[in-house]
């Protein structure tokens, strides 16, 4: 199934350099090739290279110093749930296992939800699912995902074990994640969290309420993520 989408060249440059940092072709602490050299390498002009580097700076892969060059910082450490790509890519799929608690099913919206829903979203109802995610066999994330029930054929019958929700949305429905907003708070564990995380009542748990924006206008995903940060803390750049 070819997408037919042409990949912009700044994206190619970004992805390649990112991969090279990941694979330690460009090693931590060293200087990246100069912008001019990258231009020659990728047959693009400086603004294009700079757009790619800007993204890498934002995500913490590199750091720039005027007059000196771009220093490779390496892969952002920790669990980068605050980044756009979601949990899976951030800590490496190898160490993340997913267990479905509630299979995707059509429901009415939880009215206790934090974000205001549009009338259209309320009408549609939502696809609801719950997942528990393990990092190195420890339950670390418990997440509730709600997606407006808008023209996503066969969605509820798909398998999500060890698959990224975002990947499925992109491949089968051409939905791209573009960013989002989130609330972050600390709370005590309730019965559900006690059960899944194996902690005492009131144990401090991180909660994230997220509204995720997509390439489809007025189409948002909603998720509530609970994290047990006892062993794995969240990490982010700003």
Partner DNA sequence: TAAAATCACTTGTATATACAAGTTATTATT
Partner DNA sequence: AATAATAACTTGTATATACAAGTGATTTTA
Q: Which is nearer to DNA, 20 or 50 (CB)?
A: 50
233 binds, among DNA, a copy of itself, none (CB under 5 to 8 A by kind): a copy of itself
* 89 Cα distance to chain centroid: 7
| DSSP code of residue 31 | B
Least CB distance to DNA at residue 219 (A): 11
Q: Which is nearer to a copy of itself, 95 or 115 (CB)?
A: 115
Block residue for tokens 């001019």 = 36
36 binds, among a copy of itself, DNA, none (CB under 5 to 8 A by kind): DNA
Give the containing element (helix H, strand E) for 46: helix 46-58
Instruction: Point out which span in 15-23, 34-42, 74-82, 198-206 binds DNA (CB under 7 A).
Output: 34-42
Least CB distance to DNA at residue 3 (A): 11
Nearest to 107 by CA among 96, 118, 121: 121
Q: Residues interacting with a copy of itself, by CB under 8 A?
A: 47, 58, 60, 63, 65, 68, 76, 78, 82-84, 179-188, 202-206, 213, 217, 227, 229, 233-238
Q: Which is nearer to a copy of itself, 92 or 204 (CB)?
A: 204
Instruction: Point out which span in 8-16, 74-82, 132-140, 222-230 binds DNA (CB under 7 A).
Output: 8-16
State yes or no: residue 43 binds DNA (CB under 7 A). yes
Partners of residue 129 on adjacent β-strands: 145
CA distance 215 to 5: 13
CA distance 100 to 152: 19
CB of 102 closer than 8 Å to CB of 128: yes
Residue 153: which residues within 8 A CB-CB, separation 6 or more? none
Out of 20, 44, 109, 206, which residue is the one contacting DNA (CB under 7 A)?
44
CB of 134 closer than 8 Å to CB of 143: no
CA distances from 105 to 99, 126, 127, 129, 213 (A): 16, 8, 5, 7, 21
State yes or no: residue 103 binds DNA (CB under 7 A). no
State yes or no: residue 68 binds DNA (CB under 7 A). yes
Instruction: Point out which span in 67-75, 96-104, 159-167, 187-195 binds DNA (CB under 7 A).
Output: 67-75
- Going 164 to 167 to 173 to 176, the CA torsion angle's sign is positive
State yes or no: residue 154 binds DNA (CB under 7 A). no
Block residue for tokens 């206790």 = 112
**Residues in contact with DNA by the rule CB under 7 A:** 6, 8-11, 32, 34-37, 43-48, 50-51, 53, 64-70, 217
């Amino acid at each position: 199934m070819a997408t037919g989408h042409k990949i912009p060249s700044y994206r190619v440059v970004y992805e390649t350099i990112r991969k090279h940092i990941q694979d330690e072709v460009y090693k931590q602490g060293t200087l990246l090739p100069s912008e001019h050299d990258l231009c020659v390498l990728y047959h693009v002009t400086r603004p294009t290279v700079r757009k790619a580097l800007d993204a890498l700076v934002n995500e913490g892969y590199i750091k720039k110093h005027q007059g000196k060059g771009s220093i490779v910082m390496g892969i952002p450490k920790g669990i980068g749930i605050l980044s756009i790509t979601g949990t899976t890519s951030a800590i490496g799929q190898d160490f993340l296992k997913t267990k479905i608690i509630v299979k995707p099913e059509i429901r009415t919206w939880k009215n206790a939800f934090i974000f205001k829903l549009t009338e259209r979203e309320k009408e549609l109802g939502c696809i609801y699912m719950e997942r528990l995610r393990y990092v190195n066999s420890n339950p670390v994330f418990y997440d509730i995902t709600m997606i407006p029930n808008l023209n996503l054929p066969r969605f509820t019958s798909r398998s999500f074990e060890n698959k990224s929700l975002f990947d499925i949305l992109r491949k089968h429905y051409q939905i791209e994640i573009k960013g989002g907003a989130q609330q972050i708070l600390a709370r005590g564990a309730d019965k559900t969290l006690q059960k899944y995380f194996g902690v005492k009542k009131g144990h401090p748990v991180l909660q994230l309420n997220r509204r995720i924006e997509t390439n489809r206008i007025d189409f948002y995903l909603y998720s509530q993520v609970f994290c047990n940060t006892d062993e794995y803390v969240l990490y982010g750049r700003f």
